Chains A and B, each alone.
Chain A
Amino acid sequence: MKIRKFDTKVQHLKYKVLRSVARHAWAGDLMEHLIDIPKELVPGKHATMRCCVYKERAILSERIKIAMGQGEDDSNVIEVIDIACDECPQGGYVVTETCRGCLAHRCEDVCPRGAITFDEKQRAIIDKSKCINCGKCANVCPYSAITNRTRPCEKACKIGAISSDPEYGNAVIDNSKCISCGACVYQCPFGAITDRSYILEVIDLIKKSQSEGTKLYAVVAPSISSQFTYAKLGQVVTGIKKLGFYSVVEAALGADIVADLESRELVEKGFLTSSCCPAFVDYINKQFPTLVPYVSHNFSPMVQISKYIKETTENAKVVFIGPCTAKKKEVKQPKAREWVDSVITFEELQALFDSRDIDISSLEETSLDNASYYGRIFARCGGLSDAVAQAMREHGEVDFNLKPIVCDGIEQCKAALMRAKVKKLDANFIEGMACTGGCIGGAGVLTHGEKNKAEVDSYGREAFEKSITDAISVLDKDKIK
């Protein structure tokens, strides 16, 4: 079978665990074989990842638990596997042995805090009590002798939810701060932080739909257009149906509904933040309580379309398939729980395909066309604002002067929210996307590619419906209020 393209070997390892768990779940013998899986994946005798095969297997046992949806704390879906954490060095900027004790001392000149002194061999020493970690010394050193010892997880977490355990040194997530965006999951080079998987729930839903006659819908995020690059989107849709789903619907149609409703809500309220990105909404709830009333009251596109499906179809069940780890947390909340039965990522979908030996590149294509161009471009940064502007044009709204601010990644979200908090933001609509690039930059995608944005735009242009109004006109108006 073709080797799947993932960005990293950590993703590939996670995928292998998910695939094994899924294979046994389909066969109905998972519980009997639970203790065999680590040895299946690491047959030995030589270690390839850690100090010995026994540690590798011990870590795999932990990965299996998480792949089965188990975890330490149900308030989050992101977990640190303590024994997998390499306790990376930390402490900020340090001078390494590469320092040659030169005469120029550019590091000293550029340091804004006078934190650099020299030993008897003219080698630099950083006074940690003065250093502010600005990195200027590292930038000017001609020998690249100054390095920044920051843990990749802490560096990835722009909201400061990760620290190290004072006693053991392993990474610890503060669940009261974590927004489950998954940035640390994607960045940890040891795969020590991972997102809980609900593939067993999905396999169960598929089995039940066959035995009990429920109609199982897959709602797929528009960022799917930039994924599964070895096959056509229509083949991915056929693959999903082959897994046992009754039908596949675009979450982007939910986005069309959201654009329509959000543009009206914005005109009514005068200032609004988007509510599509669950990590962004979680961030406002946790860090900017005074701005909570300004978060759009609309459902997210995922919930919006799932609600519609359930309200118009008897015995319907819905699984959302997307790029996002935070959606796994969103779905536990009362606003979503009723309408969405489970959430998996594209990584997990790939594992499910392969657990059933479904080679999607050999399948015929099935059409997927429910949404407009505007609903589809929600997948990339800026798309939501474009869609809200379009909805206003379609409503004939001429009096309202839309001034959106597009926040690409949680750092930009933070900057805009801080200004909004003190009423100094020169905008009346905040589009907040926690992942850089928007949903296409999510932690649950197979690959993060430079072409992803272009793929989403081109998928948008292929939409049968050219306007938001036309796309949502087939829906029962009373059910999308």
Chain B
Amino acid sequence: MKVTVCIGSSCHLKGSREVVETFRRLIAENDLKGKVELGGTFCLGNCVNGVCVDVDGKTFSVTPETAEEFFSNNIKGKC
């Protein structure tokens, strides 16, 4: 599974670093390193709804507060 977090300016200011850190921690805790490929990209083209997260081609809107729940529902559960 490929998970890409937007690290463009707008998403960065909305907390993309915290989202990346949360995902990294959860990938390690859940032993998903081989299954989830986490990356960062500059701008997913939906700045208003940041932080943008792309999971296998589908873009979602995540915040640092919802990152953990999002991970459980959309990443961990679908691996």
B22 within 8 A of A: no
Shortest distance in angstroms between B10's beta carbon and chain A's nearest beta carbon? 5
Shortest distance in angstroms between B38's beta carbon and chain A's nearest beta carbon? 8
Q: Besides the contacts A312-B4, A473-B20, what 13 more A-B pairs have beta carbons closer than 8 Å?
A: A246-B43, A246-B45, A248-B9, A367-B13, A370-B9, A370-B12, A465-B17, A473-B17, A474-B5, A474-B12, A474-B20, A476-B38, A476-B40
Q: Is the CB of A475 within 8 A of B7?
A: yes
Name 28 A/B residue pairs within 8 A (Cβ), A-sorted.
Answer: A217-B42, A247-B42, A247-B43, A248-B9, A249-B8, A249-B9, A249-B42, A309-B42, A313-B41, A367-B9, A368-B9, A369-B9, A369-B13, A370-B8, A370-B9, A370-B12, A370-B42, A464-B12, A465-B17, A473-B17, A473-B20, A474-B5, A474-B7, A474-B12, A474-B17, A475-B40, A476-B39, A476-B40
Q: Mark B1-19, 1 if CB is under 8 A from A, else 0.
A: 0001101111011001100
Interface size, chain B (Cβ < 8 Å): 19
Nearest CB to that of A249 among chain B residues?
B42
Residues in A with CB closer than 8 Å to B39 are 312, 476
B69 within 8 A of A: no
Most B C-beta atoms less than 10 A away, residue of A237, A250, A312, A474: A474
B65 within 8 A of A: no
Shortest distance in angstroms between A328's beta carbon and chain B's nearest beta carbon? 23
Nearest CB to that of A464 among chain B residues?
B13
Q: Is the CB of B7 within 8 A of A370?
A: yes
Measuring CB to CB, which residues of chain A are less than 8 angstroms from any residue of chain B? 217, 237, 246-250, 309, 312-313, 366-370, 464-465, 470, 473-476
Shortest distance in angstroms between A59's beta carbon and chain B's nearest beta carbon? 42
Q: Mark B28-53, 1 if CB is under 8 A from A, else 0.
A: 00000000001111110100000000
Shortest distance in angstroms between A344's beta carbon and chain B's nearest beta carbon? 19
Shortest distance in angstroms between B17's beta carbon and chain A's nearest beta carbon? 5
Nearest CB to that of A471 among chain B residues?
B17
Residues in B with CB closer than 8 Å to A249 are 8-9, 42
Shortest distance in angstroms between B14's beta carbon and chain A's nearest beta carbon? 10
The list of the 4 closest CB pairs from A to B, nearest first, reads A247-B43, A367-B9, A474-B7, A369-B9
Residues in A with CB closer than 8 Å to B42 are 217, 247, 249, 309, 312-313, 370
Residues in B with CB closer than 8 Å to A237 are 9
Most A C-beta atoms less than 10 A away, residue of B5, B12, B17: B12
Shortest distance in angstroms between A352's beta carbon and chain B's nearest beta carbon? 21
Cα A247 to Cα B43 in complex, Å, equals 7
Residues in A with CB closer than 8 Å to B16 are 474
Q: Is the CB of A367 within 8 A of B40?
A: no
Cα A217 to Cα B21 in complex, Å, equals 26
Cα A250 to Cα B17 in complex, Å, equals 16
Assuming the contacts A247-B43, A367-B13, asked whether A473 and B21 have C-beta atoms less than 8 A apart, the reply is yes
Cα A72 to Cα B21 in complex, Å, equals 52
Q: Is the CB of B41 within 8 A of A312?
A: yes
Residues in A with CB closer than 8 Å to B10 are 366-367
A248, A366, A368, A470: the one contacting B17 at CB < 8 Å is A470
Cα A464 to Cα B38 in complex, Å, equals 23
Most B C-beta atoms less than 10 A away, residue of A247, A309, A313: A247
Residues in B with CB closer than 8 Å to A217 are 42
Cα A456 to Cα B5 in complex, Å, equals 29
Nearest CB to that of A217 among chain B residues?
B42
Cα A473 to Cα B19 in complex, Å, equals 11
Residues in A with CB closer than 8 Å to B17 are 465, 470, 473-474
Residues in B with CB closer than 8 Å to A366 are 9-10
Residues in B with CB closer than 8 Å to A475 are 7, 40
A248, A313, A369: the one contacting B12 at CB < 8 Å is A369
